Structure 1
Amino acid sequence: MGVLSGAALYIKKDLKISDVQLEIFMGILNLYSVLGSFAAGRTSDWIGRRYAVILTAAIFFAGALLMAFATSYVMLMAGQFVAGIGVGYAIMIPPVYTAEISPASARGLLSSLPEVFTHVGMLLGYLSNYAFSGLSLYLGWRVMLGINALPSVLLAIMVLGMPESPRWLVLNGRLRDATVVLEKITDTSQEAAASLADIKAAAGIPDDVDGNEWQVWRELVLSPSHAMRRILLVALGIHFFQQATGIDSFVLYSPRIFMGAGVTDDRRLLGITCGLGATRTLVTLVATFLLDRVGRRPLLLCSTGGMIFSLAGLGAGLTIIGRHKDTQIPWANGLAIASTVTHNAFYCIGLGSITWVYTSEIFPLRVRALGSAVGTYMATAISGVVAMTFLSMSKAITIGGSFFLYAGIAVLAWVFFFTSLPETRGRTLEEMGKLFGMTDICVAAEAQGSTAKGNNAVVEMRTTTTV
């Protein structure tokens, strides 16, 4: 996505497309990713988290090459479709996989690493835009997009050396393999055995559920308990507000925002955008070390509060600049640029880093993949709406008015987080249900048989809900 912000400047000129076509191209990626998210949950449960990541890399590779060799808007959109499917996989599977192989004491740090490297990837995209901006109009943006195929190859190779999720292994009856993995990621054999027992209990199926996919949908969405409904609403809420506060307007349209703040040279625009990307990356890295020390809730509230004031400052600066187009107002330009930087910093220290960590850890194991997918649907749908309406909305209510609107949404987000989100720091994944009023009474019965896949485990669990 970082590449698109700069490449869009040259795509528009080379392919001679309108603002509406550009807006659709930029925003449709997130809507396509909803389709990827639908497939990702089932795929990761079918072939495992690790091989699902490899499949994601292959999809990204194909999408990057399609866009790099695009000779028309239609072909460019086809490449964007493939890349969007990959995005749907990428934003759902890594957080779940990371949470499932991480010990509770370090889960916040490790689960936030996908967000860190997302920002590293965006920064590399900004840097490649700057580096290749000197190429010809025909070649420049194609190289910017095509070079994204290289990290996909590296990802596919590196993930082959990583272990499969022990929780996925338990769900598929591979208890011996799960034990081997747990012994690698825990300090002692006793800790590994205790973790295995917790996972087996959490993977149990209630008496009135036969374990098929329809019943998982029923338990989470169609007929949830009070506690499960609360978990689902919290996950949907945090994903909604993460995107509805307008972060994708910064990611995809930061050059346009800086143009509104008085910066007009293309190369200088890309240079400032690189600086913004570096800020996001550094702050996200800091956030990873604070998650397990400070906690999710304090960081989230601080982050959202800072975003409110930054968005209001940006809206004020851009409104003043827009009303005095023929006059240079240095302090207003400075306010707009400073507010952009502080907004991105506040976003990355909390809302950007915590959302995926939080939602990947609060769902019970038996519905975790589906729960993460549902959260992803919300995030990508709202992200697509923001990306596909920003230019049109800026023309309708001015660019400053757009950020005042985002500031108002951020106020609602702060209230929601303050009233609805419990602290999860230091809790094991199997303890999360208790925070939302869920009590698990487990009765385990294990049956082992000789199959081609190895051991099969049968675990029964009755789930009652405290209202």
Structure 2
Amino acid sequence: MAQASAGEPGNEASLAGASAEGRRRVWRWGFVIAIGGFLFGYDTGVVSGALLFLRQEFDLSSFQQGSVVSVLLIGAIFGAIGAGRTADKLGRRLTLGLEGVIFVIGTLMAMFAVNYEMLLGARLILGLAVGAASATVPIYLSEVSPAEVRGRILSLNQLMITTGILSSYLVDLAFSSTENWRAMFGTGLVPAIAMVLGAMWLPESPQWLIRRGRVDKARKVLAKVADRESADQLIERVEHQDKTEDDQQRGKPARHGWRLLLAASARPALIVGLTIAAVQQLGGINTIIYYAPTIIEETGLTASNSILYSVFIGIINLVMTVVALRLMDRTGRRVLLLVSLSVMMVSLVLLGLTFVLEMPPLLSLVFMVVYIAAFACGLGPVFWVLIGEVFPPSVRAVGSSASTMVNWLANFIVGLAFLPVVDLIGQGETFWIFAAICAFGIWFVARHVPETSGREFDEVDAALHERFGRGARDH
């Protein structure tokens, strides 16, 4: 397969020839479709406040309360599994619209739940939508983005996730005085309906159209953001790549769906996607956030309730994600990953030390805040950017699906194992396990993850295979 050198800047294909007006239009598309990321964050976070009041109404046991929270993660795993093949079959635009409809259904069920079983079903349906959207949104954003701003546009997903989480905390706070948990869930109807309407307005991904033989329609979409020469380059590039992949598979057993990821051409991207997906969660981010209210309470800095504390954490997440948005295309993905993981590792080591040596709780709080800020500025958003960039276009949907599935599975496993491990070995020692995982992440990124900023797929692909011991000529 003819490829550009991994060390040269990206060829002006894709949407890299976009005009200034075209780039503005892509940004508008990006914000609209990243509503899926907002709903991801909102439906993940809103239950923390709602649970304080609905547990009384439904007289929920501790197990039932935990299941209302965790069943969303189970739904997300299965939603992510199915999203890739659906996006390939129906198209990115229609899939995103259907995910919006599922958000609407799940939200309505939660609003009007009359018992524990109905609420559990609502959270499961919302989980399906959350997992599917988390896999589909990066695909669409990567396929409509000019190479020079692709990192920032893909980072919109994480920005909207953190905005959704913060919004859910603010909504919880607004309705906490009336204990109206139904309104907390119901507010999510607004972005859910907006996602459905937005999908009707958005164009289909031009790369998906080209792969389905709808070249004229793809050219019309590209004409909205790029000049004719750039549009023709993209079409030629995608068609050439498809022909090359067909030639490579000729005479070999046919692979379909997820089996495509096992092909030699996709394997390095799969390893990177799955590993970064696991490290992002196994590094302990959610357990740190969940445990922080206790630390704040011990410092004497606690607000009148845990919802107000959550707003504080949400603001840190959002601010540092905005910082990442500005740095993503300037410093590159590798630098952000390496710095983020390094600061997370050091913070976790010191955090563990404060527990082992019973140091002042204020120090624990400081290290927790530094850890969360480092995650939000690097590993958090960069994962969502990478899964939209490293996979070959022909398997981008199923690759994103596999990566997000592993991400949700790791999230579920850590949440399930955290307290038992703390009981077994202690709090500080548990944080050191997270630090060791971050150390592994640093080694893995340094050895196997190439820089993807400003590069077209064939350049990223060449760099991936070079790092995994296969030169581009072996393609």
Report the CA distance between 1:150 and its aligned residue: 1.6
When residues 56 and 289 of structure 1 are mapped into structure 2, their CA distance, relative to the original with a 3 A threshold, is: same
Report the CA distance between 1:13 and its aligned residue: 4.2
Letter in 2 for 1:109: R
Residue 301 of structure 1 is matched in structure 2 by: 338
When residues 144 and 247 of structure 1 are mapped into structure 2, their CA distance, relative to the original with a 3 A threshold, is: same
Report the CA distance between 1:464 and its aligned residue: 8.0
Residue 81 of structure 2 is matched in structure 1 by: 38
Give the total of aligned pairs: 426
Task: Give me the whole-angstrom Cα distance separating, in 1, the residues matched to 2:206 and 2:251.
Answer: 22
1:308 touches 1:407 (CA, 8 Å); kept in 2?
yes
The more displaced of 210-219 and 117-126 is 210-219
When residues 8 and 435 of structure 1 are mapped into structure 2, their CA distance, relative to the original with a 3 A threshold, is: same
Give the 3-state SS of the residue equivalent to 1:173 in structure 2. coil
1:103 touches 1:185 (CA, 8 Å); kept in 2?
no
Task: Give me the whole-angstrom Cα distance separating, in 1, the residues matched to 2:428 and 2:240.
Answer: 53
When residues 206 and 213 of structure 1 are mapped into structure 2, their CA distance, relative to the original with a 3 A threshold, is: closer
2:295 touches 2:361 (CA, 8 Å); kept in 1?
no
Residue 63 of structure 1 is matched in structure 2 by: 106
Letter in 2 for 1:367: V
When residues 251 and 48 of structure 1 are mapped into structure 2, their CA distance, relative to the original with a 3 A threshold, is: farther
TM-score by length of structure 1 reads 0.84
Cα deviation 1:321-356 (Å, max 9, x = unaligned): 6xxxxxxxxx72222222222111100111001001
When residues 97 and 253 of structure 1 are mapped into structure 2, their CA distance, relative to the original with a 3 A threshold, is: farther
Tell me, yes or no, if structure 1 residue 123 matches structure 2 residue 123.
Answer: no
Letter in 2 for 1:93: T
Give the 3-state SS of the residue equivalent to 1:164 in structure 2. coil
Task: Give me the whole-angstrom Cα distance separating, in 2, the residues matched to 1:300 and 1:375.
Answer: 17
Cα deviation 1:290-334 (Å, max 9, x = unaligned): 11110000000000111112223333345566xxxxxxxxx7222
Give the 3-state SS of the residue equivalent to 1:62 in structure 2. helix
When residues 268 and 339 of structure 1 are mapped into structure 2, their CA distance, relative to the original with a 3 A threshold, is: farther
Within the candidate set 463, 468, 474, 1:466 is matched to: 474
Report the CA distance between 1:220 and its aligned residue: 1.5
When residues 91 and 144 of structure 1 are mapped into structure 2, their CA distance, relative to the original with a 3 A threshold, is: same
Within the candidate set 291, 306, 311, 2:328 is matched to: 291
When residues 249 and 12 of structure 1 are mapped into structure 2, their CA distance, relative to the original with a 3 A threshold, is: farther
Task: Give me the whole-angstrom Cα distance separating, in 1, the residues matched to 2:431 and 2:218.
Answer: 48
Cα deviation 1:70-91 (Å, max 9, x = unaligned): 2332222111110110011110
Residue 200 of structure 1 is matched in structure 2 by: 239
In the TM superposition, 1:96-175 aligns within 5 A as 96-136=139-179, 140-175=180-215
Residue 25 of structure 2 is matched in structure 1 by: none
2:158 touches 2:381 (CA, 8 Å); kept in 1?
yes
Task: Give me the whole-angstrom Cα distance separating, in 1, the residues matched to 2:73 and 2:288.
Answer: 15
Report the CA distance between 1:18 and its aligned residue: 3.6
When residues 310 and 10 of structure 1 are mapped into structure 2, their CA distance, relative to the original with a 3 A threshold, is: farther
Cα deviation 1:207-256 (Å, max 9, x = unaligned): 335999843543322xx21x532221111110010011122224555545
Task: Give me the whole-angstrom Cα distance separating, in 1, the residues matched to 2:175 and 2:454.
Answer: 45
Task: Give me the whole-angstrom Cα distance separating, in 2, the residues matched to 1:397 and 1:141.
Answer: 37
Task: Give me the whole-angstrom Cα distance separating, in 2, the residues matched to 1:194 and 1:355.
Answer: 28
Letter in 2 for 1:243: Q
2:172 touches 2:184 (CA, 8 Å); kept in 1?
yes
Residue 48 of structure 2 is matched in structure 1 by: 5
In the TM superposition, 1:9-408 aligns within 5 A as 9-136=52-179, 140-186=180-226, 188-204=227-243, 205-207=245-247, 208=249, 214-221=255-262, 224-225=263-264, 227-250=265-288, 254-256=292-294, 258-259=296-297, 267-318=304-355, 332-408=360-436
Gaps of 5+ in 1: 322-330, 439-462
Report the CA distance between 1:68 and its aligned residue: 2.4
1:5 touches 1:252 (CA, 8 Å); kept in 2?
no
Task: Give me the whole-angstrom Cα distance separating, in 1, the residues matched to 2:123 and 2:422.
Answer: 24
2:332 touches 2:453 (CA, 8 Å); kept in 1?
yes
The more displaced of 88-97 and 14-23 is 14-23
Letter in 2 for 1:218: R
2:451 touches 2:460 (CA, 8 Å); kept in 1?
no
Task: Give me the whole-angstrom Cα distance separating, in 2, the residues matched to 1:312 and 1:14.
Answer: 42
Cα deviation 1:132-166 (Å, max 9, x = unaligned): 11113xxx333222221221112222232222100
The more displaced of 271-280 and 335-344 is 335-344
Residue 456 of structure 2 is matched in structure 1 by: 428
Task: Give me the whole-angstrom Cα distance separating, in 2, the residues matched to 1:464 and 1:319.
Answer: 49
When residues 42 and 402 of structure 1 are mapped into structure 2, their CA distance, relative to the original with a 3 A threshold, is: same
When residues 276 and 211 of structure 1 are mapped into structure 2, their CA distance, relative to the original with a 3 A threshold, is: farther
Task: Give me the whole-angstrom Cα distance separating, in 2, the residues matched to 1:247 and 1:4.
Answer: 18
Give the 3-state SS of the residue equivalent to 2:201 in structure 1. coil
Task: Give me the whole-angstrom Cα distance separating, in 1, the residues matched to 2:253 and 2:400.
Answer: 18
TM-score by length of structure 2 reads 0.83
Report the CA distance between 1:33 and its aligned residue: 1.1
Give the 3-state SS of the residue equivalent to 1:135 in structure 2. coil
Report the CA distance between 1:62 and its aligned residue: 1.4
Report the CA distance between 1:465 and its aligned residue: 6.2
2:67 touches 2:120 (CA, 8 Å); kept in 1?
no
Gaps of 5+ in 2: 1-43
When residues 55 and 219 of structure 1 are mapped into structure 2, their CA distance, relative to the original with a 3 A threshold, is: closer
Letter in 1 for 2:399: G
Letter in 1 for 2:259: R
When residues 404 and 5 of structure 1 are mapped into structure 2, their CA distance, relative to the original with a 3 A threshold, is: farther
1:65 touches 1:146 (CA, 8 Å); kept in 2?
yes
When residues 254 and 89 of structure 1 are mapped into structure 2, their CA distance, relative to the original with a 3 A threshold, is: farther
2:449 touches 2:464 (CA, 8 Å); kept in 1?
no
Task: Give me the whole-angstrom Cα distance separating, in 2, the residues matched to 1:377 and 1:395.
Answer: 28
Cα deviation 1:78-108 (Å, max 9, x = unaligned): 1111011001111000100000001111111
Give the 3-state SS of the residue equivalent to 1:92 in structure 2. helix
Letter in 2 for 1:219: L
Cα deviation 1:422-465 (Å, max 9, x = unaligned): 11111013432211238xxxxxxxxxxxxxxxxxxxxxxxx986
Task: Give me the whole-angstrom Cα distance separating, in 2, the residues matched to 1:246 and 1:10.
Answer: 28
